[in-house]
Amino acid sequence: MRVLDLFSGLGGFSEAFVQAGDEVARVENNPLLSEVPFTTMQDVHAMRDRLEQYEYEGLPIREYDVLLAGVPCDAFSLGFHAPQAVASRSGEYETYEPDMSNLECALAIIRITKPRYWVIENVIGSIRHFEKYGLSPRIIVGSHVLYGNFPLFEKIQIPTKAERDTGPSDPLRKNKRGQIPLALSIAIRNAILEQTTLFDFA
């Protein structure tokens, strides 16, 4: 399968696909993550702009079987110091409006590239905001809320974000806490394969 992993971080979302030998392209802009295998350092928004230009000019656009997007969750987190939680404590929960540009960017790339399956991942606090874009959770596994067009699978046990915490001195702490566990990546890939045949990817 051809897989595009947006906002890829440490690569957890697509790791099962990598280990299975699929063709994976990861897109990330944090230079601390430049050594993650199959990662291209580029801004997802710039990628969207380039694809829109290709679309406008009628140029060929690379096709993907699966698109994964771990949209950054800072604006949607309910963690104590997160903006949404701060707004809630100050009585401004209902009027809190997070930056939705990363989600909009992912949705634009999905529209342009037309992958057969796509999965957007975020946190529980994203639900009320993503609903404004017509997105409802397809499945919730631990703290991971999955939206999109993909086959359902049995819920699995995964480590909590607290169990993945490496402490405030780690420059990649957020990435490690938010990394999608391999078991969840495997579950997504298996669900896709169980619904398809080899002829779908010939």
**Residues 57-115: tens digit of each pLDDT:** 999 999 999 999 999 998 898 887 788 889 988 888 888 999 999 999 999 999 999 99
**Residues 166-176: tens digit of each pLDDT:** 778 888 878 87
Domains of the chain from N-terminus onward: 2-201 (3.40.50.150)
pLDDT at 202 over 60: no
Q: Is the pTM of this model over 0.75?
A: yes
Interatomic CA distance for residues 67 and 44, integer angstroms? 13
What is the maximum alpha-carbon separation in the chain?
A: 55
CA 111 from centroid of its chain's CA atoms: 15
Q: What's the pLDDT at 59? A: 95
Strand pairing report for 66-69 and 144-149: unpaired
Range of lowest pLDDT (80-89, 96-105, 121-130, 179-188): 80-89
